[in-house]
Structure 1
Amino acid sequence: MQEQHQHHHQQQQQQQQNPSALLPQLTTNHQSSTTVTSLRSPSSVTTSLCSPLHIASHRQPLLPAPVAVVLPSGEPVSTAPVNFQLTRVRLSDIGPYDGAPTGTYVRAMETLCSSLLKYNAALIELGSEDTALMRCGLEGARLFFRSRAHLGVGKGSRGVYMYRAGRALEDWDSSPPCMADIFRCMGKASRVALSAIARHLRLRSDVFNHLLDDAPLPANEVSSSVLVGTYSHASLQNGKGAIGGGKPTVNGEVEKGLLTLISSDTPGLQVCDPNGRWYLADGGSGPGDLLLITGRALSHATAGLHPAASYRASPDCFMSPNSGGRTSLAYRLMPQGNAILDCSPIAAAGHVITQSYVPISVSQFMDDLAAEDLIGSRCNNDD
């Protein structure tokens, strides 16, 4: 009896020391490593076992990079606590400018990239004018989607709308308001974030510019990047992903582009940290906060130094049919299809890269990812 009492007392001590162990949404995924940073989504592990593409020379290795590679200082990778909130970085503090780097710029750049490496996400705080624009855009998108859902016809009736700059609209009533302005606002913020990531890697701030669309776009050219508006509600969960354009899965989705910025009116997006634990990444954010996650294209261009993030909709978000739903605007910064993903600048900066990161065209890279997803979905269906 005394032994049982001691055993019960030890369990209570362990739970007090590790309260996250009591939370189902923070349970470690058993398909990924529990001690090493995972560079791939949990779903991609099954994919790689079923697909011959995982042995191609240009694909990322299945085994994740050592923690010492991700965090050169040797600092242990942190696990996000229950009430964890990402540190905000002001967009104005990481913007490029002429002259010597100030202490404010250096601190903001390091905070941004440290958050990406420790938690696979970061928060960017917009200025007052951009915040007002995002709030207007979210409110307009919510009204647009709810009215279309009520009618049950036309674009947006299923809670997803994709906007590309340069593409002609059939009529102005077929899209949520302010999409062009929001596209420019979030596009500028994404380029600023990309330049800060480059500087943190000891590269020129414009080293990735050759991958991007020209700014502004040439005449009659459609943007590679896309702005995705989504409205998620219990009555509208019809197979779209957490931020639109994909199917929702328990193991999450992995962004394919360079990076993605997400603004929402209600918290509801979980991100998987490097320890394989899921946490609510936008719990304390508002319309003026952009959640930043990095994608597969940037992971390849940086030789895995900035791994792609896995994300998913929070299971608690849409449980109640009486909830108001969640509106989000996600800007996906995509590379041009004819660009080349090349790690030579990373090697020139003194970083050690593996032979698996060879130059590859963006179009071929995306085709391989699509084929990998297709084979992975077939494997999951067979299971």
Structure 2
Amino acid sequence: MEGNGLPSLGRVKLTDLAPSEGVPSESFKSSVTTLSHSLAQYSAAIIQFPVYDGALLRSGLDSARLYFHQRAACPSAELMQNNDSLEWCRTSGYYTDAQGWQETYDYRPGLTQVEPGNEMEIPPAGLPDIYAVFGKASRIILDAISFSLNLRSSPFTEILDNVPLRSREISSSVLSVCCYGRPSFHGEHHHKFAQEDSQLAMYTSDHEHQIDKSLITLVKSDKAGLLIKDFHGRWILVDGDLGPQDAVVYPGLALYQATAGYVNPALLRTEVNNIQGSMYGRCSLSFKLMPKSMTSLNCSEMRAAGHGVDVQFQLPVPVDDFMQRSPSTDQLFNRPNFQNFSLSTSQEGSIKLRRRKNNSSTKPLPPSKRLRLEAQRVLKERVQDIADKKGIKLRFCNLKDCESHIHRLDSPCASTRMEIGWPPGVPFVHPHDLPNKAKIGFLEAYEPGWSASHDIELSLTEPGQVGQQSTN
């Protein structure tokens, strides 16, 4: 990065970011300031792990190189899985992207990958230990970001996996072992051809950039090649000067949503010009701290801290729906100018990201649409959770038919309604299809404290008004 004439990324020790009881130490405040400033300027920072963790990460990269090197060139079609066709929280095992010359092995605690032929996949070595190291570090970093935003301690605990996982739980967070441009993947002839073709010098999913939907991502690579777009719209090589104990951290789209846009997700791409002549390609360990599938991303913690929350962030977003969307990054924020954001330094020196007031009038969602979205969220969170615990598969009725079902004891849905506590008099159909009056009954049954008057009035206050109230 220094060769590009650009300032260096913030570099902090993980041990300095670890919270402790009482008044924050000077090293903690200084590290949080460095981390926050680096994320604001470059959407990335460098984390220095303790010596013993650094040794584990290096051995993990050695194991990754050997794992991919021993695999067959150009695997058979039955082994070339595409994780886009699977649930985002159920990927596990070996995947390939032949067009992008990328191979990935996903490790997800609670889920064991079985290859065709009922043979167990033998993973790279040390993944459980590396997962634990990255998982603990990512939570420490997330809490440090929360501190810089004046949020309470561990504000995102409710949307994260249990530590440790409960019985039969599957981790939402995932550790991915990746390999780019392995010469033996397509054979030596194809590899040389790709190196000569300038159009294949960069390969990402859209040949421009990609964006993680994680809260935060930690990456440790054996060769430089990760580029992230900075505050000014320039592509910065962020892993060009990593030490043996260093890893790169950058925010994802879920954190952008949970902080009402105060923390921007990183736009990234991978360069592979520097792997020519390498027999192993470029290997990396990537840990994505993900929210749980049966939760929602909401900005209640940001409002409680006095931050202004725009209309687009005021309604909770079910995590499953959020992960299945394909939002345009141009609609999320305007790079490279970042006209919606500014940096301000508090008296204690911590960097905070604050949204400038938007002068354009924002029209709140109509009550009927807010009611529908709230009912869908409760179905995802409350009703589905009850059904899962009881082992019930929800099969909703047709609205017209079920209007007669609710008055009969022998109706097809009577037992299901009784077991999950479906409100009396409300047809057993998807809340999206219920009349508004029935939606209200549905919400009152499953959302304690909810009423028709509780129409999220506070969250519909204009961002400027919220900021003014907190200032007063």
TM-score, with structure 2 as normaliser: 0.57
List aligned pairs for 1:204-243, cutoff 5 A: 204-233=152-181, 235=183, 236=185
Which residue matches 1:294? 251
State the AA in 1 paired with 2:36. Answer: C
Query: SS of 1:148's equivalent?
Result: coil
Structure 1 residues 283 and 84: CA distance shift in structure 2, 3 A: farther
State the AA in 2 paired with 1:184. Answer: A
Alpha-carbon distance between aligned partners in 2 of 1:299 and 1:81, rounded to the nearest angstrom: 28
Of the candidates 250, 255, 260, which is equivalent to residue 217 of structure 2?
260
Q: CA deviation at 1:353?
A: 1.9
Q: 278-287 vs 188-197, which deviates more?
A: 278-287
Which residue matches 2:416? none
Structure 1 residues 330 and 287: CA distance shift in structure 2, 3 A: farther
Partners of 1:264 and 1:326 within 8 A in 2: yes
Q: CA deviation at 1:264?
A: 0.8
Partners of 2:204 and 2:270 within 8 A in 1: no
Which residue matches 1:202? 150
Q: 284-293 vs 186-195, which deviates more?
A: 284-293
Of the candidates 47, 64, 68, which is equivalent to residue 141 of structure 1?
64
**Percent identity for Structure 1 against Structure 2:** 36
Partners of 1:228 and 1:331 within 8 A in 2: yes
Partners of 2:292 and 2:319 within 8 A in 1: yes
Alpha-carbon distance between aligned partners in 2 of 1:345 and 1:116, rounded to the nearest angstrom: 20
Alpha-carbon distance between aligned partners in 1 of 2:168 and 2:151, rounded to the nearest angstrom: 33
Flag structure 2 segments of 5+ consecutive residues without an equivalent: 80-92, 97-102, 195-202, 330-472
Which residue matches 1:308? 265
List aligned pairs for 1:73-152, cutoff 5 A: 81-82=4-5, 84-149=7-72, 152=75
Alpha-carbon distance between aligned partners in 1 of 2:67 and 2:258, rounded to the nearest angstrom: 37
Which residue matches 1:192? 140
Which structure has the greater CA radius of gyration?
2
Alpha-carbon distance between aligned partners in 1 of 2:288 and 2:123, rounded to the nearest angstrom: 18
Q: CA deviation at 1:275?
A: 1.6
Q: 254-263 vs 82-91, which deviates more?
A: 82-91
Partners of 2:211 and 2:265 within 8 A in 1: yes
Which residue matches 1:166? 110
CA RMSD of aligned residues (A): 2.7
Alpha-carbon distance between aligned partners in 1 of 2:247 and 2:107, rounded to the nearest angstrom: 18
Which residue matches 2:335? none
State the AA in 2 paired with 1:351. Answer: H
State the AA in 2 paired with 1:189. Answer: A
Q: CA deviation at 1:314?
A: 1.6
**How many pairs align?**
288
Partners of 2:252 and 2:266 within 8 A in 1: yes
Alpha-carbon distance between aligned partners in 2 of 1:172 and 1:134, rounded to the nearest angstrom: 24
Structure 1 residues 323 and 141: CA distance shift in structure 2, 3 A: closer
Alpha-carbon distance between aligned partners in 1 of 2:6 and 2:58, rounded to the nearest angstrom: 25
Alpha-carbon distance between aligned partners in 1 of 2:106 and 2:60, rounded to the nearest angstrom: 14
Which residue matches 1:175? 123
Q: CA deviation at 1:363?
A: 1.1
Structure 1 residues 270 and 321: CA distance shift in structure 2, 3 A: same
Partners of 1:133 and 1:182 within 8 A in 2: yes
Alpha-carbon distance between aligned partners in 1 of 2:143 and 2:48, rounded to the nearest angstrom: 16
Query: SS of 1:162's equivalent?
Result: strand
Of the candidates 330, 337, 340, which is equivalent to residue 293 of structure 2?
337
Q: CA deviation at 1:148?
A: 1.2
State the AA in 2 paired with 1:263. Answer: K
Structure 1 residues 83 and 314: CA distance shift in structure 2, 3 A: farther
Q: Deviations over 1:171-216 (max 9, x none)?
A: 7762000001100100001000000000100011210111100000
Q: CA deviation at 1:233?
A: 1.9
Alpha-carbon distance between aligned partners in 2 of 1:326 and 1:229, rounded to the nearest angstrom: 11
Query: SS of 1:338's equivalent?
Result: coil
Partners of 1:248 and 1:313 within 8 A in 2: no
Q: CA deviation at 1:317?
A: 3.3
Flag structure 1 segments of 5+ consecutive residues without an equivalent: 1-19, 21-78, 240-245, 374-383
Of the candidates 262, 268, 283, which is equivalent to residue 240 of structure 2?
283
State the AA in 2 paired with 1:168. Answer: T
Alpha-carbon distance between aligned partners in 2 of 1:315 and 1:329, rounded to the nearest angstrom: 16
Which residue matches 1:378? none
Q: CA deviation at 1:249?
A: 3.2
Structure 1 residues 321 and 302: CA distance shift in structure 2, 3 A: same
Which residue matches 1:364? 321
Partners of 2:295 and 2:319 within 8 A in 1: yes
**Larger relative CO (CA 8 A, sep 6+): 1 or 2?**
1
Alpha-carbon distance between aligned partners in 2 of 1:289 and 1:172, rounded to the nearest angstrom: 33
Q: CA deviation at 1:338?
A: 1.3
Which residue matches 1:348? 304
Structure 1 residues 151 and 357: CA distance shift in structure 2, 3 A: closer
State the AA in 1 paired with 2:310. Answer: T
Alpha-carbon distance between aligned partners in 1 of 2:95 and 2:233, rounded to the nearest angstrom: 35
List aligned pairs for 1:313-332, cutoff 5 A: 313-318=270-275, 320-322=276-278, 324-332=280-288
